[in-house]
Amino acid sequence: MPPPSDIVKVAIEWPGANAQLIEIDQKKPLSSIIREVCDGWSLSGSEQFALRYADGPQLYITEQSRGEIKNGTILRLAISPTRAARQLLERIQSHGIDARLEALKELAKLSADPTFATEFINMEGIGTLARLVESGTHFGEMLAFTLTAFLELMDHGIVSWDLISLSFIKQIAGYVNQPMVDVSILQRSLAILESMVLNSHSLYHRVAQEITVGQLIAHLQVSNQEIQTYAIALINALFLKAPEDRRQEMASTLAQKHLRSIILNHIIRGNRPIKAEMAHQLYVLQVLTFNLLEERMMTKMDPSDQAQRDIIFELRRIAFDGENDPGGTEKRKAMYTKDYKMLGFTNHVNPAMDFTQTPPGMLALDNMLYLAKLHQDTYTRIVLENSSREDKHECPFGRCAIELTRMLCEILQVGELPNEGCNDYHPMFFTHDRAWEEFFCVCIQLLNKTWKEMRATAEDFNKVMQVVREQITRALAMKPSSLDQLKSKLRGLSYSEILRLRQSERMSQDDFQSPPIIELRERIQPEILELVKQQRLNRLCEGSCFRKMGNRRRQDKFWFCRLSLNHKVLHYGDLEEPPQGEVPFELLTDKIPVSDIKSVVTGKDCPHMKEKSALKQNKEVLELAFSILYDPDEALNFVAPNKYEYCIWTDGLCALLGREMGSDLTRSDLDTLISMEMKLRLLDLENITIPEAPPPVPKEPSTYNFTYNYG
């Protein structure tokens, strides 16, 4: 007979004694259980003790967290968090250097525990640590452990960052600004400053006054990628929290300090592979840089503003330079109207009206002027080539440039906040100081080329733009490392190649529409579906690494989950770093029986998404979030590293529960595998027309008195 669900069998250790194997009754108060354990070793004062996990992060067990204890868990009897906090607080203020170092080392480890952190903070522990830092008497390991403990304690969100003193900020900033400082101290100092900027508006201004951008950029030229990552993270935080009127100024300062070329040479083209956290910070920097375009993108042109109208006159002058203006006002007006028509504006009389819609607003005009001035030969060739055509196949440059700018803003998500879990940066945008404008120049040439290949007319404008969008998105997905490589990728994606790709992608839909083929497909589908199901379950058995989502992005917060080989138990546990190979079940200390799983929820229905702040609850994270709800009213929360892992896990969990696998990946895999199987089975019928209906059954013979003579 199985044990009751509220009885848990565990082992409890105590230094120098044999472990106790006991059954914990989850209905009994935790204090009573601790008293019984202490009695087993003849220990008095049970209220001075607590239970902790023996493995992993070794967290304290509380009345709130005791429900997570599983059968077979190894626990450890330890001094209570209140007593531990008091002892450590006394030891870190002792005069003995060795004793203080050991105390700070232990404190740095214990501070990750929310129960201990609450007790230590209630005893004014953070203020004590801050004073130790402000004194300037700690160096080396002692200072590193002090900063680690401070960072871990603040990361729990119990105390507001606004309480931090100016002298503490100056001391931390001093470690960052020093040319030679210990790596561990520098790393933690950068992380503390980043958290200050992100969590407090008032601290942003103080940090911005203390930190020089030049010194942060100097940290990007070191060989330690973690230091580089924290330095970029702090630059991003300062960029993100800067008032709008200061962002352009900060961008100019970063450009003067050659930030882009330093990142390109020391990170992107460095000797070490770029880790996920660095890729995320590069993506954030890319997004924040492009967001500087938002103001121009959302600015309408004022048709009465002479300075703005002069830009349009300049476009006309560069395109048709050398043509003499006629003397009369009416003749000049008529010639301007003709020229604006040849430039491809929709409003020939007053082309300023073409720039009154946002987006793209004035950003489109900026792009056109950049092309005309810095790529004058390309600009004049495009305009004159199309203005000289009389067969209605001319490509309207002005209209195309405006719509292309709007499209590029959508593709690169100009004006949107960075997504928490996204690493989608493009190396080529770090190869040029005017990467956005150069990207536009490449794409407008592509549009003109595609227009000619499609032999398009004005009625085909939207079709051409759809093809160009597909060409650009496919090329970007290949992650070209430079603008020249982008041009090469786009040359390979001609209109005929796009048609071929489209045709091959929908071949499975077009080729198999006759009733016999549809019937064959229906017969094959259950077999293929079972194959997809087995693949999903096998992937769950291999397991995946997930990042813990906290108040601050951390490189050391990972956990791993995998399904047992008999598909009956989910094993999971914390990791120090992403695994390089298979993680054995022995390292995963927690588990959930599949029979206890009640349901799988996704997106906004997940408990951890309901708890997140509005900033964190962005579209990207919501699309990757899912949770397992299991008895008794517990949840295991996930944020997948990418869409593929999200589909694998949600499909696999649905398969475990006997539910339909409904992800986009399942539909795609089904279509691909069924298409391949159908083609294999129909190989012998190539060039044979398959009838819509089966052939008629012959009439019965008049008599059955017939035989076959084998002689």
Give the pLDDT of residue 711: 55
Q: Are strands 74-79 and 7-14 parallel, antiparallel or unpaired?
A: parallel
Local confidence band at 3 (pLDDT 50, 70, 90 cut-offs): low
- What integer best gives the mean pLDDT of the chain? 88
Give the pLDDT of residue 245: 83
Give the pLDDT of residue 2: 45
Strand partners, 559: 546, 574
Give the pLDDT of residue 553: 47
Give the pLDDT of residue 341: 87
Mutual orientation of helices 376-387 and 362-374 as an angle, nearest 10°?
Answer: 110
User: Higher confidence at residue 512 or residue 602?
Assistant: 602
Does residue 445 surpass a pLDDT of 90?
A: yes
Run of H or E including 448: helix 435-454
Strand, helix or coil for residue 50: strand
**Which among 167, 159, 233 is positioned nearest to 200, based on CA atoms?**
159
- Tell whether pTM > 0.85: no
Q: What is the mean pLDDT of residues 92-97?
A: 86
- Other beta carbons within 10 angstroms of residue 703's beta carbon come to 6
Two tokens at 199? Answer: 């969590």
Give the pLDDT of residue 506: 63
Give the pLDDT of residue 233: 95
pLDDT in tens, 324-377: 555 556 766 788 888 888 899 999 889 999 999 999 999 999 999 999 999 999
Q: What are phi and psi of 562, to 5 degrees?
A: -150, 155
DSSP 264: I
* Window from 32-36, 78-82, 216-220, 586-590 with minimum mean pLDDT: 586-590
pLDDT in tens, 617-669: 466 788 889 999 987 778 899 989 888 999 999 999 999 999 999 888 999 99
Give the pLDDT of residue 513: 63
Q: What is the mean pLDDT of residues 666-674?
A: 89
Local confidence band at 611 (pLDDT 50, 70, 90 cut-offs): low
Does residue 554 surpass a pLDDT of 50?
A: no
Contact at 8 Å (CB) between 432 and 314? Answer: no
Q: How far apart are CA 108 and CA 496, in angstroms?
A: 62
Q: Give the rounded percent of residues in the chain with a pLDDT score beyond 70.
A: 92
Strand, helix or coil for residue 635: strand
Does residue 322 surpass a pLDDT of 70?
A: no
Q: How far apart are CA 127 and CA 165, in angstroms?
A: 10
Q: What angle do CA 511, 514, 515 make, to 5 degrees?
A: 140
Q: What are phi and psi of 625, to 5 degrees?
A: -95, 140
Does residue 608 surpass a pLDDT of 60?
A: yes
Give the pLDDT of residue 422: 85
Contact at 8 Å (CB) between 415 and 291? Answer: yes
Give the pLDDT of residue 4: 62
Does residue 226 surpass a pLDDT of 60?
A: yes
pLDDT in tens, 138-155: 788 999 999 999 999 999
Q: What is the mean pLDDT of residues 296-300?
A: 94
